[in-house]
C-alpha cells in the first residue's frame, strides 16, 4: 500500500517513521522526491487504520491511500 502524508520534511523524518514503525509494520519506504511525500509498505487491510494512527502519533498525517 502507498499513502500520501503531510509533515515529512527530510530524511530525519523518514528515518523516524522507518525506525519507529518497522517492528509493527515491517519494511517501510518513504519517497522524499514527491510532494506530498509517499510512504509505501506491505500492509494487510485490517492493519491500515492502525498504521494511520501510528503515523499520526509520530506527527505525520496520512492524507489518503493511493494504492
**Quick one: how far is CA 15 from the chain centroid?**
11
CA distance 10 to 66: 21
pLDDT per residue of the chain (67 residues) written in tens, 0 to 9? 999 999 999 999 999 999 999 999 999 999 999 999 999 999 999 999 999 999 999 999 999 999 8
Topology at the third CATH level for domain 2-65: Alpha-Beta Plaits (3.30.70)
Instruction: Give this prediction's pTM.
Output: 0.95
**Nine-digit cell string for 13:** 523524518
Which helix (H) or strand (E) segment holds residue 62: the answer is: strand 62-65
Domain ranges of the chain: 2-65
Amino acid at each position: 500500500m502507498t499513502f500520501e502524508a503531510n509533515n515529512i520534511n527530510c530524511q530525519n523524518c523518514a528515518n523516524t517513521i522507518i525506525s519507529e514503525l518497522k517492528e509493527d509494520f515491517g519494511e517501510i519506504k518513504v519517497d522524499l522526491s514527491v510532494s506530498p511525500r509517499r510512504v509505501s509498505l506491505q500492509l494487510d487491510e485490517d492493519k491500515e487504520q492502525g498504521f494511520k494512527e501510528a503515523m499520526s502519533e509520530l506527527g505525520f498525517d496520512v492524507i489518503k491511500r493511493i494504492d
